[in-house]
Amino acid sequence: MKNVLIAGLGNPGKKYEKTRHNAGFALVDYFWEKFRENFGFSDWEEKKKLRSLVLIGKTENAKIILLKPQTFMNLSGEAVSAALKYYKISCRGETSTDLVVVHDEIDLPLGIFRFSKDSSSAGHKGAQSVIDALGTQNFTRLRIGVDNRLALREERDKLAPTEKYVLGKFSDTEFASLRKTLEEASTELLKHIS
């Protein structure tokens, strides 16, 4: 039985709940809710050694480990690296399907998600932290689109700065759109890891 690690990136704490930068946390939470009974997922447990919240479920062929690093986004690689070692998962050889890193993507519009394999961080600091910690980009990324700035222009012809925007909270309408995306992405993610 193989181990599959799905690491949702985000920032811990109440201050960051429902922020765009926490789309990775939102996806693993949704995946847990959607497939909890199917795979007998445990409840979230804090693993201090891994600096993460963790829960585990099983399919016929795999143990699925959901991870929410508690290191803050820019240090996500520390937690992901520790979890890979702890659960004996390797990213060497062919492009690995045993590690999926899920994060927000400012270069995709809200409502869109994309899988990518063996790709650069494209400036995402959480993804870059994982690449740096592992010494490879040989893993799968699930990028959740969060850009809705054209609809939310602060001033005429001026978009909100990226850092300020991703740390902002989803509006109720945006969150409803995100939930639909999380549902579709979770279904595709299950196919990816099966």
Task: Quick: pLDDT tens for 98-140.
Answer: 999 999 999 999 999 999 998 999 899 999 999 999 999 999 9
- Percent of the chain surpassing pLDDT 70: 93
Q: Give the C-alpha distances (Å, rounded to integers) separating 183 from 1, 27, 32, 34, 178.
A: 26, 8, 11, 8, 9
Of the candidates 151, 152, 4, 153, the one whose C-alpha atom is nearest the C-alpha of residue 66 is 4
Domain membership flag for residue 156: yes
Distance, CA of 27 to CA of 9 (rounded, Å)? 9
For strands 52-58 and 45-47, give the pairing. Answer: antiparallel
pLDDT (0 to 100) of residue 10:
98
pLDDT at 9: 98
Which has the closest alpha carbon to 144: 102, 87, 175, 86? 102
Structural domain contains residue 117: yes
Q: Which domain holds residue 16?
A: 2-188
Has residue 193 been placed in a domain? no
How many C-beta neighbours within 10 Å does residue 111 have? 16
CATH number at residue 134: 3.40.50.1470
With 90 as the cut, is the pLDDT of residue 194 above it? no
Asked if the structure places residue 138 within a domain, the reply is yes
Domain count, the chain: 1
For residue 94, is pLDDT > 60? no
Q: What is the mean pLDDT of residues 169-190?
A: 96
Does residue 58 lie within any of the structural domains? yes
**Is residue 82 a part of any domain in this protein?**
yes
In a domain, 61, yes or no: yes
Residue 194 inside a domain? The answer is: no
Single-letter residue type at 78? E
Q: Which of 21, 103, 124, 192 is catalytic?
A: 21
pTM, rounded to two decimals: 0.93
Kindly report the number of other CB atoms within 10 A of residue 3's CB atom. 18
What mean pLDDT is reported for the chain?
Answer: 91
Q: What is the pLDDT of residue 149?
A: 78
Is 103 a catalytic site residue? no
